[in-house]
Structure 1
Amino acid sequence: MVVMFTRPVDVYSSLEMLSVGSNLCDHILTDESLDKLSKYKRLNCVWSSKVQLVIYLQKPMEENIFELSLRKGIFKEDSSNIALVNDEPIKIVMRKLTTEWWVYTPRLVITGPSEVPRCGLFSLSGHYSSPKGTTGVAFKWTVTRDNLPSTSTEEPINEELTHIVSSTTSQNLILDAILFQPGVNSTTMHQ
């Protein structure tokens, strides 16, 4: 959760402004807000600047709209000759960011060497671009040999290579060049 202030603010006690974590959350959030946020487990409040307060939740936010209240008497305008302290709780309506406005289709780009090296390890990385990010995305890798006639008598793809590739679900695939047949330039990797 990100709270943006229209003007630079300071916490009434400058010592608290330097605090980080749940004790800062306890100091600035009302008891009602702390109770509502308790279902997200551990809270961590951080001042990223004089105009931005970030509240980290351990679990993703469920609600699309969330009302948050900051305690009264805690905040004052920063660098002001006559600094006014908030005499009422500050109520904030937070809206969950959605990605419904994003129109492009998710894309995957694989980076790595264009040729299998003669020896040693090499890696392929899948760079996934989606409005929803890579959370919950399992990568499925396969290896095939292109342009190989079905009647070919060439050796099949190494079983160990097939097993390593098929059991990898992360976006990074690390392979040993020894698993590939030397001199074959039509082997491709794809998602």
Structure 2
Amino acid sequence: MKAAKQIFDLAGAALLLVATSPVLALTVLAVRASSPGPAIFSQVRVGRDGRLFRCHKLRTMYVGTPSLPSHEAPADSVTSVGKVLRKFKLDELPQFWNVLKGEMSLVGPRPCLPTQTELIECRRRLGVLAALPGITGLAQIRGIDMSNPELLAETDAAYLRTASFWLDLRILFGTLYRS
């Protein structure tokens, strides 16, 4: 399954990057027009085996906003364009590059910030850190976020215990449906 998942990730990310490139170009222009600063930003996240990597995203907040989990960020820190990008998950499009670089998977536990120590410890205890983080995951389609670290880590572990090609497809389609 591991080799097949890697091939699926690389082929899927390449195909999706090409297919979404017009949308990505338009969203980059919209971000640049809505507020000063770069359209794409990179944020240090925790990856496989606890290694840190730079996760790429479209900027949805004003420049200078502190690096906080989404559920802790002040409501007025998100730009008007950023609200739309988040609603439709378009801010995640640059992460296809992370998948192509082998730092992420299309489906897996979402990468967390290094400051989210409670979640990291729960994931370490449950073996979740052994997996590549994903652009989307089981917790996301179930509406579980980082405000409940124990439940999130348990859901991530449940995904890893039952992971299959078909489950990944269901999660990908579930992500599109939720958007």
> Given the two structures, how large is their TM-score scaled by the length of structure 1?
0.22
Structure (1 or 2) with the larger CA radius of gyration: 1
As a proportion of its length, which structure holds more helix? 2
Give the TM-score taking structure 2 as reference length.
Answer: 0.23
